Amino acid sequence: MLNKAKGFPENFMWGGATAANQLEGAYNLDGKGLSTSDMAPFVPKEERDGADFTFDVDSKQLEEYLGEDCQVYFPKRQGIDFYHRYKEDIALFAEMGFNVFRLSIAWPRIFPTGEESEPNEAGLAFYDKVFDELRKYNIEPLVTISHYEMPLALTEKYNGWESRELIDLYLKFANTLFDRYKDKVKYWITFNEMNMMLTSLYTGGGILEDKIKSSKEQAAYQATHHQFVASALAVKSGREKMPNAKIGCMICRLETYAATCKPEDVLQTLREDQMNLFYPEVQVRGEYPFYMERYFAENDIVIHKEPGDDAILKNNTVDFIAFSYYMTYLGKYDPTNKDNSGCLVSQLKNPHLELSEWGWPIDPTGLRIALNRLYDRYHVPLFIVENGLGAIDVLEEDGRVHDDYRIDYLQKHIAQMKEAIQDGVDLIGYTTWGPIDIISCSTSEMSKRYGFIYVDQDDEGKGSLTRYRKDSFYWYKKVIESNGEILE
Catalytic residues: 193, 386
Of the two residues 265 and 386, which places its CB atom closer to ligand BG6 in the complex?
386
Show the site string, 422-451: x = touches ligand BG6 by CB under 6 A, - = not. -----------x------xxx-----x---
Of the two residues 272 and 386, which places its CB atom closer to ligand BG6 in the complex?
386
143 near ligand BG6 (CB under 6 A): no
Q: Shortest Cβ distance from residue 253 to ligand BG6 (Å)?
A: 10
Of the two residues 19 and 235, which places its CB atom closer to ligand BG6 in the complex?
19
Contacts of residues 368-371 at CB distance under 8 Å and 24 or more positions apart, as own/partner, are 368/416, 368/417, 368/419, 368/420, 368/423, 369/255, 369/328, 370/253, 370/255, 370/323, 370/325, 371/416, 371/417, 371/420, 371/423, 371/425, 371/427
Contacts with ligand BG6 in 309-348 (CB under 6 A)? 324
Among residues 140, 273, 281, 386, the one that binds ligand BG6 under rule CB under 6 A: 386
Contact call for residues 472 and 452 (beta carbons, < 8 A):
yes
Q: Shortest Cβ distance from residue 325 to ligand BG6 (Å)?
A: 10
Among residues 13, 19, 142, 453, the one that binds ligand BG6 under rule CB under 6 A: 19
Of the two residues 22 and 316, which places its CB atom closer to ligand BG6 in the complex?
22
Show the site string, 214-253: x = touches ligand BG6 by CB under 6 A, - = not. --------------------------------------x-
390 near ligand BG6 (CB under 6 A): yes
Q: Shortest Cβ distance from residue 438 to ligand BG6 (Å)?
A: 7
Of the two residues 267 and 355, which places its CB atom closer to ligand BG6 in the complex?
355
**Which residues pair with residue 328 across a beta bridge?**
255
Contacts with ligand BG6 in 169-198 (CB under 6 A)? 192-193
Show the site string, 274-313: x = touches ligand BG6 by CB under 6 A, - = not. ----------------------------------------
145 near ligand BG6 (CB under 6 A): no
Show the site string, 447-476: x = touches ligand BG6 by CB under 6 A, - = not. -x----------------------------
Binding residues vs ligand BG6 (CB under 6 A): 19, 22, 148, 192-193, 252, 324, 386, 390, 433, 440-442, 448
